[in-house]
Structure 1
Amino acid sequence: MRRLVGIAAASAAVAAFVIPGLALGQGAAPKLSVSPSSGFPDRAYLLQLPERRALTTAGVAVTENGGPVSGLAVVPPGGAATGALLLIDASNSMKGAPLAGAMVAARAFLKERKPNMPVSVVVFGPDEAVLADFTTDGQELAGAVANAPATSEGTHIYDALIQATESIADQGLRRATIVLLSDGTDVGSEASLAEAQQALAAASTRVYSVGLRSPQYAPDSLQSVSRRSGGRYAEAAQPAELAAIFTEIGSDLASEYEVTYRSVLPPQVDAAVQVTVAGLPPAKASYTTPALAITSGGTFERSWIDKVIVSPYLAVFIVVAVIALLALALFAGVDARNRSLRHRMSQYVSVPTEEEGRMRRAEVTSMLAAGAQRRVEGHRWWQSFERDVELGGFKNSTVGIAGWTIVGAIVTSLVVAIAFQSLAGLLAGLAVPFVTRYIVKSRVKKKRKAFREQLPDNLDVLAGALRAGHSLVGAMNVMLEGADEPFKSEFRRVLQDEQLGVPLDEALMVMSRRMDNLDVEQVAIVTRLQREAGGNTAEVLDRVVDNIRGRMELQRLVQ
């Protein structure tokens, strides 16, 4: 009597899993379920046939809402793209008959598999142990499940599922099925149920969960994993019932085809899918096409480069730049002709002409007279810039430097506007003239500092030459022979002015202003006294040198 009751209980436990498959063999329609790899518009369905038979694309017809689909393909079970992984609980609660029954069930599964379907066998407790990696070798798989493995404390179901998905990914399987067997709930996993489900979804892997009842058994986690992954759940009351369940799973996988196609339906439409196999009733499924992921941004939005090109500010900037470049070219041409004329005349005239003398006197006079320096109020910056360029010793002319500044401003504006994708970047070119001005000022400041450092030593040489009996102009020539730049070139200008008829003290005053040096004014006063009253100029220069050096030492101390 007890034996009959046990058989009845086993039949009831397996009925939910086995009867659908048996019903298929009684003229029922094939079963259609969504594949874990399905999406939209590329759809994928798993077609479960009631019997094993060869099936090709020509023997399958698919419609959506009665209309045709495109790109229909049928993938048979097995092959390098699909596989199965047996994941068996080997915790201490499975020791003895439960684990032995699990090995019998694994052998039953392997008998039903397609010969070309790779299978892996893994047992888990707190850690995973691979009894057989993915292989189609029947002997290797049979040896892996021949004996029950050792057990250990802990049931890390979620960790084992994540490790299984990693193995499937390493194998390169496009579609895989995990057959999970356990007699308890998860205990001790580092991962959570949500993390395990996320890993299964990422690997397009479904789970067939099989629960073996025990005092510590809780079906919630196994049911959730199988339901969320697109698999199925079965439950066995006794270890002897496992073989029938695993046989049915193996048979299902051996007769399961993947049907793929591309849907032509519009978004947000209820779709009725019908798959018809020759000689069998149609299999049906339904879904709703997703909405298009469209963000509202207007009918048209200009790119940043379009905004820069059509901007009125860019048009104004280009017009101003072209006018400035044309003016620069005109000024440069006039300046080049004037300089070439003076250069040709200098090859034949070794002494200043009367015209050059008159122009030089006018230049000195204009520098001495503050009112004559200001032709027009708005042009003072240009006169100051010309003077600084000449003092800095730049090889390019003032017009040339200004032209390159304009070009640099244009290039900087365009580069910054493009780099930051903003029209405000066009204003960056306004900083280029200030950079040019800073460079010129720095060169002038450096030259004036060098002149100030050289002045005392050269005045000592001048005083010594006066004591040797040279005239003041002759002593200056002696001083220049051993002088360094910039002192040498600046004092040579003084002597040139003196040759053109400019009084020596006035020429020195001009140099004082050029070099921004008040000490030179003392030398100018000494030369005026020497011209008007005579006296011991060398001794006076010695006092001037002492004052200059004392002031320089005091400045160094303060700094």
Structure 2
Amino acid sequence: MQASTAKPLGASLSDLRPSATSVDGTLILRGADSVAVEPRSVTATIGGKDTQVTVTPAAAKPRTTMLVIDTSGSMEASGMATVRTAVREFLAAVPQGVKVGVVSFASTSGVDVKPTTDRAVVQRAVDGLRSRGETALYAGVQDAVKALGTVGERSIVLLSDGGDTVEEQKGGLAREASQLATATTLLTQAKVRAEVIAFNSPEANGAVLKQFATAGGGSVVTAGNRGAVAKAFDAAARTLDSQVSISLSRPAGLTGIQPVVVKGLASGAPFTATASLDLGAKAPVVPTSDETVAAPAVPTAGIGLPRSAPPPTRFLLPIAVLLLFLGVFVIVVATLGPVFRSQRKERVATIEAYGMGSRAQMRAVQSSPSSISQSLVDAGEQFMSGRESTSRTMMLLDRADLPWRAGEWFVLRVLAVIVGGLVGYVLLLARNPWVGLFIGVVLGYVLPALVLRFLARRRARQFEFVLPDVLMLTATSLASGFSLLQALDAVARDAPEPCAKEFSRALAETRIGADVSDALDHTADRMDSNNMRWATMAIRIQREVGGNLAETLRTTAATLREREGLRRHVRALSAEGRLSAYILISLPIGILLFSMYSNYEYVSLLWTTLYGLIMSVMGVLAMAAGIFWMRNVVKIEV
């Protein structure tokens, strides 16, 4: 082999695994650009004895790397933006066959993405990381090593400032030193290479990071700005692209710890890689989640891995999903229960509705809940009884034509709050689950009432729209010689909904002895219809003083049509103002939600600082005043 005048390359040996006849490992080369090893130029010695070397492409065996990213508050939003950009370039440069995973650590640590070849999944996970909290560096390194397992060439790319504030707060310097020794021992026993990027910050501790690199047979690169971080990640990607697998024949008679030296050329430049190898060493060892690693230099009594158990928020995730499923299931059963009645029960319900007219009995026939549902409904009935709001709620349920009792409505409201809170918690689990829980609870409490009012108002508008045609049908029946009750029966059979059902209820009241005018008044109150009140007043006056009722109803129907036409004309003229009001109301809410997704650190100042809370309160009050003002401007009574 001829000597080369090129600048020597940095080189190291990783994942050395001795067997009875050979020593297998990975040769790592570090240069300004990706380099290719010249297999014929490679020579090696073990314990000073020459040995045969076989060089194969690194892609021939599994390769896995974990991005271990510091997301503590010291990284700040600018640091996380730098990390996201650097990781994007790193993923583009890493060989396709290399699996990449993500571990993040702040006050706690955990595996965000298990090793995968899907680069988009990794990038999405990194884009979602936000800086906050303390620094659990040692726990993050241990979690990464465990996630890598023991198969193939494994490495971590660690980005941190090197300070573990969590362990220091828990037990002072002694505990911090013990946990550092535990993490470095784990790296050595697992034979995981550590490529370290030291990010400058006020809490920087380069000595700790150097220990990780030494224990993992890697290197340390100091990065003080965006460009330096990008170069460091690029160097880590080139390292994965500039490595080969080597197999050395084991000389006979050698035991114990022996030096291993590998020399050769790569893209015309010389390299020398050295390592100490215990020829009696076992395969890589990674403890299970409930085991600890013995740190020989520091007492480890009573020390466990910081993240051997999931944090409280991760305990709550499966519970939240389970409760969410149960809540949705109960809501569906309670809502769709009346749909699954038999035809016999439908006929019985119809007979009792017309014959007895008892609303309580009709509700009992319509619902067939299980014993558990019945217990919940009974508890809801007790809670709702005697409350001032119950009568208004039942009136809205009647107006919306929903077959629910007060207790059933209460159970649905409670379940909506629970499900809303759990949905918000799950959706914002990666950012701020407690804010999501609060928003979900508020929406779960408010939305059912808004939906009920919307359904009641929509059905009342449909009633008002159809009422002129119903009065014309009644007038035509009266002119044909029918009595008023016969005319109402024709309306109940031939009129469109919702008038057919409401006039059927009025007719049923007359059959059990109620006066027809009173029954129609009840319909007007039930539907909150002024038009129906005027029509009922006309019928009552005609019955007291006499006259042509058919002509009176025709005149009333014509008047109602003219009022409806005027109302629609006014509504069309005010449409622009209403649309502007809707946009102005939804715009700040939409911007808040988008900002929470795209730049959480920035918008979170609204509820994490005193000035932000003051601004939030003032903004909510100003928005409430604006909504009240705009509502009164665009609301025109006809």
TM range (shorter): 0.3 to 0.5
TM-score of the two chains, using structure 2 as the length reference: 0.37
TM-score of the two chains, using structure 1 as the length reference: 0.42
